[in-house]
Chains A and B, each alone.
Chain A
């Protein structure tokens, strides 16, 4: 029990340290808020034009569609949809061989980086998520959760989204053990992240089979699902199904990550001689 409590304190410290680390980049955060707001504004008008033409498209009314835009901007860095999380650092450590040092530490590699990424995501949500959302709410008529329970339901979906996002990017980073250069995989992950998360366009606007395919992929857990929970599109058993989908993908991807990590670690030992 004592060991377990100690472990928990260790990972909590990693999370907090990561939060603080991102909090030091004040100017970059302010610049990011500005950029998210500008993009939110541009997208909001294109969505308005789209929903003007087709009211009720994808099951959203105009206000919900606008809210979706600002949620996308708020969650863009939280979910690291275009990359920019821990994975660059981990890839660099694998490439240079510093990873060998990490593997000797009495901490689990996967949990360590998860703790760090949760700290990063928490800062991004507070630092870069709130201001664009408030700006959007002031300029447009947004659909907000009606009560505290609605906000809580969204927060749970967002946290699960962060874990799925982490699990995907952990796999991306581990690929560096085999490829040595993570640039290609990182770029593919970024493409998939922006397209299949619903960042470019809500997945329920995608036509036919493409939409069904996109909604079944893990990336839909990052933006589309938290957004639908926020917009009150999923409640009761639908909400539970959403969580189950997110937890299912998180568990599957984290397990694959663990297996790959085991294979990769053996490889490092062999390489290191």
Chain B
């Protein structure tokens, strides 16, 4: 069996086990999923409150920002459901329980990713999808086949980019065991940043998330193509179609970083 198929199989088996255990307490599951939904919904409520005072933010209307928000949240939600448990890695390195995963005959990445698989995270995903659906209904867009194609492509590639950030962040925790919050800055911070249009932020910050950590490819560039808005930094029009390449490159890089992190792992022995 190829390593990839082996990994996916292990991931499927372990996550199915956690889902079964979650479903033993259905009410508790429903409550945490609802809570997850509510926590993220407040972010959008904050935007609604802002728009109770203004008509535009950074030159964008509420519907346009809802589109950016929905795309960012949905892409992040997909990655979060699949890999949201990765931030537990630091704790496992600290308390030595990572050793248990190392001796099992399954890829470590798949085991860590599926560890305590949190299906309740669909709450966040549902919230993002709802806002995206709202945006698509109220927006007045001149739909072309390319624009229609761009929406699902954007969500998938965005999820891929966030997935790479999750894996890269987890790899960083092999070195800095106690620094799960640094990962939050890039994951939660990243999705928060992308909820607002690039016109809101300083040029250097936009450059940073375009060329250094290319989060701009999650939603800004493809979404602005759909909205027919100018891109930040005067980028050429074809960049809206590069998210698949960026996602693939980032995922490959994350894989390399992960392997390097795993190789550098020294058990605490406890």
Footprint of B on A, CB under 8 Å? 25-28, 30-32, 34-35, 38-39, 41-42, 45-46, 48-50, 53-54, 57, 181, 183-184, 187-188, 190-191, 194-195, 200-201, 205-207
- CB-based contact A27/B46 at 8 Å: no
- CB-based contact A42/B189 at 8 Å: yes
Given A34-B181, A35-B184; A41-B49 close (CB under 8 Å) = no
Selected contact of A45 from candidates B31, B49, B205, CB within 8 Å? B205
* B192 adjacent to chain A (CB < 8 Å): yes
| Chain A residues positioned under 8 Å from B31 (CB to CB) | 183-184, 187
Which of B36-44, B221-229, B246-254 participates in binding chain A? Answer: B36-44
- CB-based contact A34/B28 at 8 Å: no
- CB-based contact B181/A28 at 8 Å: yes
- CB-based contact A194/B42 at 8 Å: yes
| Chain B residues positioned under 8 Å from A46 (CB to CB) | 50, 57, 196, 200
| Chain A residues positioned under 8 Å from B179 (CB to CB) | 27-28, 30-31
Given A31-B179, A46-B196, A183-B32; A201-B50 close (CB under 8 Å) = yes
Query: Which of A26, A30, A49, A190 gathers the greatest number of chain B CB atoms within 10 Å?
Result: A49
Docked pose: A259 CA to B199 CA in angstroms: 53
* Interchain nearest-CB distance for B191 vs A (Å): 10
Docked pose: A190 CA to B205 CA in angstroms: 30
Docked pose: A46 CA to B57 CA in angstroms: 8
- Residue on A with the closest CB to B172? A31
Q: What secondary structure prevails in chain A residues at the interface with B? A: helix
Q: B159-201 vs A: 1/0 string, CB under 8 Å?
A: 0000000000000000011111110111001001100100111
CB-defined A-B contacts under 8 Å, sample of 5: A38-B189, A45-B196, A45-B200, A50-B53, A206-B49
- CB-based contact B32/A200 at 8 Å: no
* B266 adjacent to chain A (CB < 8 Å): no
Selected contact of B182 from candidates A34, A39, A54, A57, CB within 8 Å? A34
The 10 closest A-B pairs by CB, nearest first: A27-B178, A31-B179, A31-B181, A200-B46, A38-B185, A35-B185, A187-B35, A53-B54, A49-B200, A28-B178
- CB-based contact B185/A187 at 8 Å: no
Docked pose: A24 CA to B184 CA in angstroms: 21
| Chain A residues positioned under 8 Å from B186 (CB to CB) | 38
Add 5 more A-B contacts to A34-B181, A54-B53, A205-B49 (CB < 8 A): A35-B181, A45-B202, A53-B57, A57-B53, A190-B39
Q: How many residues of B contact A (CB 8 A)?
A: 38
Give B40-74 interface residues, CB cut-off 8 Å to A. Answer: 42-43, 45-46, 49-50, 52-58
Selected contact of B42 from candidates A35, A200, A206, CB within 8 Å? A200
Docked pose: A207 CA to B205 CA in angstroms: 31
- CB-based contact B39/A49 at 8 Å: no
| Chain B residues positioned under 8 Å from A188 (CB to CB) | 35
- CB-based contact B181/A41 at 8 Å: no
- CB-based contact A50/B181 at 8 Å: no
- CB-based contact B28/A42 at 8 Å: no
Docked pose: A34 CA to B178 CA in angstroms: 13
| Chain B residues positioned under 8 Å from A39 (CB to CB) | 185, 189, 192
Q: B85-113 vs A: 1/0 string, CB under 8 Å?
A: 00000000000000000000000000000
- CB-based contact A35/B200 at 8 Å: no
* Interchain nearest-CB distance for A196 vs B (Å): 10
